[in-house]
A = this chain, B = another copy of it.
Amino acid sequence: MKVLVLFVCLSVGCLAQRPRQCRSPPLLTGSLSVSTASEKLSAYAKYTYDALGKRIRLKELGSYKNHTFYIDALLLYNQGVMYKINYKNRTCCKKPLSVDFHPLAIPQDASLLGQVILGASSGPGQGLLVNTWAGEVQMKNNGTAKYMSTVTEFGCIPVSTLFHTNKSGWVVTSFFNNVIGLEDPQQLIPPPFCEDAQLEKEDGEDPLTFFSLF
Which residues does A use to contact B, with CB under 8 Å?
28, 30-31, 37, 116-130, 152-155, 157, 159, 175-181
Contact = CB atoms under 8 A, between A and B. Distances in A.
A128 B154 CA distance: 12
Q: Would you list the 4 A-B pairs with minimal beta carbon distance, nearest first?
A: A128-B128, A125-B154, A122-B180, A120-B178
Contact of A120 (B125, B126, B179): B179
B125 A176 contact: no
How many copies of this chain does one complex carry?
Answer: 2
Contacts of A125: 128-129, 152-155
Q: Is the interface of A mostly helix, strand, loop or mixed?
A: strand
A123 B118 CA distance: 17
A154 B178 CA distance: 19
A106 B118 CA distance: 18
Contact of A177 (B117, B152, B154): B117
Contact of A157 (B28, B116, B119): B119
7 contacts: A117-B176, A118-B175, A119-B130, A119-B152, A121-B177, A124-B154, A126-B157
